[in-house]
Every structure is written in C-alpha cells, then in structure tokens.
Chains A and B, each alone.
Chain A
Amino acid sequence: MEGPSSRLSEARDGAVQPAGGRDASGEVESDSSRDVKTHFRVCRFIMETGVKLGMRSVPVATACVLYHRFFERVNISSYEPYLVAMSCVYLAGKVEEQHIRTRDIINVSHRYFNSGSAPLECDKEFWDLRDSVVQCELLILRQLNFHVSFEHPHKYLLHYLLSVKSLVNRHAWSRTPVAETSWALLRDCYHGAMCIRHAPQHIAIATLYLALNSYGVELPVGEKEWWQVLCEDVTRADIDAVISDLLQLYDMEAKCI
C-alpha cells in the first residue's frame, strides 16, 4: 500500500526502511528488532503530532494504543505505518471526544516529512490523502473488532499523586517535581508496546514509584507499602518489569533517533 510518507516526502531518512537493511551501527538486524525501531519512530511521530495538534494526553495515549494493537497481529510490511498512525490520531480524537480535523492532521504530517515546506494546495493530492486517512480508519476499526475504548493509567496516576502528596510535608512536596516527572514518564511509555502489556494501575504505580525514586523522596512505612495499598495485586516484580521496559525505551531513543 503506497502511503503518505512516500507521497509526502522523498527525503526523510528512516521513514520507510528497505528490507534487510543495516542499522546505524552497521550491524545486520533481525526483522523484529527493526520492526520495533520502526514502531518507536512512528509512535514518536504520533506524540509529536499530538503536541502540534493540541491533543490532550489521553487522546494521544489512545492513538498509540490503537496503533500498537493494530500491529499486534498484522505484519508491518502489509500496511504503511505512518498512514495507520495518522488514522489512529483521527480515530482517537473521536473516541476521546477531542475531534481533530483531517485537514490539520494532514498539514502537520506533511510538514513533519517536508520540514519548512509550504502548506498543501487544495488539490487532488490533498483529497487523495484525506480519503486514505478515512479509509484506513475503517480498516483499523475492523482489525480491532470495533473495540476502541481503553482504560488508561492517567486517571489512576493523578489520584495516586494526590494521595501520596498528603503523606509528605507540603514544603518538601512543593519543591520536588514528582508530578511533572511521573506524568512525563507516563507519556513516554506510549512509545512502545509496553503500554498494552501492563495493567493501567501497574503502569501508574510504576511511574510514580520511579519519579519518587529519582528524587529520593522517602515515604512513611506502615504494615504495608504505599504501592501495595493503591492496587492490591501489584507486586515489586510488576513494578520492576514496567520500569525496566520504560528504561529500555529511553535507550532505544538514543539508537533510533
């Protein structure tokens, strides 16, 4: 399927990899590790596009989840991933009640692949792109059996933040950026498939845990730890697994982008 990245650009390196290529370090990669990198880059595209469209965190998260779930069972070479990503953004806007116009999605994407270019004219190319996005949306819906509504960690994280905040001295809390850091960590999770492999409560707890850890915040200890109390079935191993997946994503950024 010829996609927007080839029509929108000739020159963006790494947008579409040739088969059996070599990565930045010159080693021959396996298909699956190359796919993981492509997915990372496409999710980065979704997140950047989300910011430029003024999308809130939850719709962006939905877009990434739609993307990951779509490619769970579908081969990446069958569909143009950037087109799928654009349609995921469009569909997520509808699902999360923050409607985004296709015109804006196309404009932002076009400029992403053609940095500094003039906006598209209202011509055949533009309308063809729009048709592609809308048709791909239907494809995604069918691939996901129309299950497009997801529970996200964001609500949990915000309530957990408030609960944990009241355990700590207010002055210590106000000078420690735990809220920003945990929110940033949560958003960054969506670069990889880890966001669909763990329960939302577990992701919320793990990002909060890592944020508190990063600043050396000490919380009081009772019969139970704070994280055991927030979600009954989470274990230390679950938290470590989420953190480990997330840290791998940061490593991947260095390799991919």
Chain B
Amino acid sequence: MDRDLLRQCVTYHGESLFNKLKCEQTENPDFQALVSDLCKASYESTLVEQFIARKADILFCPSWKTTAVKEEEHDEEEAAEPYAVMPPLELFMEVSYDERRAMLYRDLERGDIVVGRINNIREYGFFLTLLSTAGGLKRDIEDLDLSALCHIREIPSTGSHDDPLSYYQIGDFIRAGVKDIDRYQEKITVSLHQASVSRSLEHIKLGVIAREELPVHYSRSLSAASDSTETYEPILRRCHGYHNPSVVDYLLERVGISDTHPPSLMRGLQSKLFQEDDFASAIRKKQSTSWALKCVRAGVDHFKHGRHVEAMNEYNKALEIDTNNVEALVARGALYANKGSIMKAISDFELALESSPDHRNAKKYLCQTLVERGKQLEEQEKLVTAEGLYRRALSLDDTNPEAQDALHKITDTIQVMASLHSVYFRLEISTTIVKQAF
C-alpha cells in the first residue's frame, strides 16, 4: 500500500477513520506494516470513512494508479480545440491575492513557460510583467504584480552585431522559459533560449508573440473577469471543444484512463476477475470456427456423393464465416485439384499451411499438387522451375514416391543438358576464335 497517500488521507480524516481502517483491514498485511506510521487529526463524516476503510485495499493499491503524467499540447486554435480549455478555476473561486501568490511560487518550476509584457528595458536586459503561465501550469497571475527579468545573455543573438535588446520594445508580448525561481526573495528570471524549456515543451517557440497567440485560457479568463454573469458552466457550454463528439475519448486518453479495462470500486468488477475467454471477440472466434466446420462437413459429404458444385458452395460459405479456416481451405484445395485448377489448389494449401504448418493433409495434398504442377512445367520446358517444385514437394512429404521419382529424373535431365550446353558453348567459342583468326 502507498504509505504517503494513506498518511495524507488519515491526517485529513482523523482518528475515527484510522480506527475504522484498523478494523476493516485487519487481514491486510500491507496495512499492518504501516499502522505505526500513521497519525491522527481532524473529523469527517462516518459514512464516508466507512467507505474509505472498506475500499482502502483498492484505493491505496500502487497499481490502482494508471494515469501517467502527459504534458499538454499547446497552441490549439480556438476553432480546432479538441476539448474546452477553461480559464483557471481560482479566478471563479476568487482565491485571495496572497494565496495565489503563494501557490504560484510553490508550483512554478524551472522549464515552465510564462507569458508577459515588457515594462522596462535596461542595458543588461528587460523586465516583464507576467500575465499568464503557458505550459506546465495553468494559472491566473496577471494581477499578482509579478515581474521577471530576462538578462541580455538569455536572449539568443540574431546573428548581426546589433544590440539584441534593440529588437524589443516596451509593451511587446513575450513568451519565455523560466530559468530560475528564488522563492524567498520572490524573484523570477526567464530566458529566451529554447534550451531553458523542459523537454515536453520544446516545440513551443519563445520570443515575441502577437496578441492572438496569447494562451486560450488567458484570453478566456479576461472576458470572464470583465463580465460577472460569465460563470463556469456557460463558458464551458460555449466552448467549441465541449461539443466535440469524441471529447470523452480524447480526454480519457489525455488523462490516461483505459475505457476498455475500466476501473471500478465494486468488488465484483475488478479487472483481474475478467477472463479472456468470456470476451465477445474470443467467443465469436470459437463460434465461427465451429459454424465453419459444420459447413465443411456438409461439403465433404456432398463431395463424396459426387455433388461437386454443392460441395464448393459449402466450402465457400465456411470461408465466409471464418476466413482462413484451415479445414475449409484444405477441403477446397482438394476439390480444386480434383477439378484440375492446380494454381487455385496450391494457393489454398499454402494459405492453410501459413496458419497450420504441420497440418498433415495440407502437406500431403500440396506435395501431390506440386508434383502435378511440376509435370506441367516440364512439358513447357521450364525444367529448373519444375525441379524447384519437386524439391519443395519432397520437403513437405518425403515419402511420396512420385515426387522422389520425378526429382531424380529431372535432376539427371538437367545435368545432361548442362553438359551438352557447355560442350556447345566451347564449340561456339572455338568457332569464334577460329573465325577471328581468319
């Protein structure tokens, strides 16, 4: 069990929860190991404590936490936002100035991105009045009187020998990376070097930005602040992203919760209780195979009674129900071979062997069919190709006498032809030499 999380919870709820935990989790060895570590504080309602106590083994299990920290994507245009980007909540809650300042200094980190307006330019750098955070955090900071310094050496040189500061003017909007935060002296220094920004925010460009490029949550918070009827819910409904039909799926993925193995606090719905065999796709696969086999059996029966057309129909039906069903492919291949469609037969047998390389009948029939095909090729004088097929046939079924026989014969034939060819070739050369000599 996660000790820190459990301690945070017990501190919040107090002694009565602690007692209930001890009572409900007596059989949990993980909890017993932590009992001495936990301390007590204030009070909360009994029903909720009872709930926490009963479900503690799930709630505090380390594997319960599936979400991973995923960084926000940035610079979504308003019209294309996949979900509703809302102004920071503390704006609506009217959290006090002091508290918001304290929260910012607690939570802002090196590598975050801030947006500010230049209020002063000196020879050693410029000062920004911070308006908003832009990556890593989402906070309302315009009225907190925060100022940040961007030293001249934190400004990338433009390549020319001009003073880099001359490029900037008072009133420019700047997006910068946080280089350092001095929480005690309440000083923030920023940088325009791309390297100052944390890895996940690398793609965000630093430097001067236009008014339109200000963070969406900031511009929305400006309009919300000016109009007190703009409360959270109306703004939410008005956001284009809220009406994205796949907003739930998108946000679930962002947050990192699986919708296919969903979490639950009910004992009977825990993921580990579900068995693969009970899932729809597994049952369907087994069922399709079974239904297909029924058709194949009917087809074989037709075949034995000479009803080849009906047999073919059954095999095709079987393959529609269960594509690449091995028995159906072998049966159909045999029927094709029987009718003389050698190539189609070979194709079916090969496909069957792909999924079941040890299927006895598939190997046997393919061997026989390859030999037949080899004989056809011999008649077309494609001896080398035919030899290849005979070799393949033997590799499938080395007891087949026809295949052995055919391979021996053709190997001999090829050798004879090869020596004849070499004699002919030498004759050719010597004739040419003789001709040239004259």
Contact = CB atoms under 8 A, between A and B. Distances in A.
A56 B249 CA distance: 9
A107 B251 contact: no
Interface in B223-278: 231-233, 236, 242, 245, 247-249, 251-252, 255-257, 259-269, 274, 278
Interface stretch (B177-185, B284-292, B326-334): B284-292
Contacts of B267: 253, 257
A231 B236 CA distance: 11
Given A158-B252, A218-B12, A220-B103, A180 B65 contact: yes
B274 A107 contact: no
Contacts of A181: 59, 64, 263, 265
A167 B48 contact: no
Contact of B269 (A48, A118, A176, A216): A48
Size category, B interface = 35 or more
A82 B248 CA distance: 28
Given A121-B290, A179-B255, A222 B233 contact: no
Contact of B280 (A104, A191, A231, A253): A104
A155 B251 CA distance: 9
A157 B284 CA distance: 35
Given A167-B89, A220-B90, A222-B95, A184 B262 contact: yes
A40 B12 CA distance: 33
Given A107-B283, A177-B67, A229-B231, A216 B11 contact: yes
B389 to A, nearest CB: 40
A187 B263 CA distance: 8
Given A162-B251, A183-B257, A169 B95 contact: no
A247 B278 CA distance: 29
Contacts of B164: none
Contact of A213 (B44, B65, B245, B251): B44
A120 interface: yes
A198 interface: no
Nearest to B287: A119
B242 A122 contact: no
B88 interface: yes
B9 A214 contact: yes
B255 A214 contact: no
B22 interface: no
B400 interface: no
B47 A244 contact: yes
Given A108-B283, A201-B233, A155 B247 contact: yes
Contacts of B47: 243-244, 247
B66 interface: yes
A237 to B, nearest CB: 13
Q: DSSP majority for the B interface?
A: helix
A201 B269 CA distance: 25
Interface in A127-182: 154-155, 158-159, 161-164, 166-167, 169-170, 174-177, 179-181
B89 A191 contact: no
Interface string B1-43: 0101100111111000000000000000000000000000000
A41 B26 CA distance: 29
Contact of B93 (A44, A107, A224, A231): A224
Contact of A179 (B248, B256, B278, B284): B256
A180 B236 contact: no
25 contacts: A44-B269, A51-B260, A52-B274, A54-B280, A57-B262, A97-B245, A103-B284, A104-B283, A121-B291, A162-B83, A162-B255, A169-B106, A175-B2, A176-B8, A177-B64, A191-B266, A217-B12, A222-B90, A222-B99, A229-B93, A232-B233, A243-B48, A247-B48, A250-B54, A250-B55
Interface of B: 2, 4-5, 8-13, 44, 47-48, 50-52, 54-55, 59, 64-67, 69, 83-84, 86, 88-90, 92-96, 99-100, 103, 106-107, 136-139, 231-233, 236, 242, 245, 247-249, 251-252, 255-257, 259-269, 274, 278-281, 283-284, 286-287, 290-291, 294
9 closest residue pairs by CB, A with B: A216-B12, A222-B93, A119-B287, A222-B95, A223-B94, A104-B280, A184-B263, A158-B251, A166-B138
Given A57-B252, A159-B242, A188-B265, 17 more contacts: A44-B266, A48-B269, A155-B248, A158-B83, A163-B232, A166-B137, A169-B106, A177-B67, A180-B64, A181-B265, A184-B265, A188-B266, A215-B8, A222-B96, A222-B99, A229-B89, A257-B268
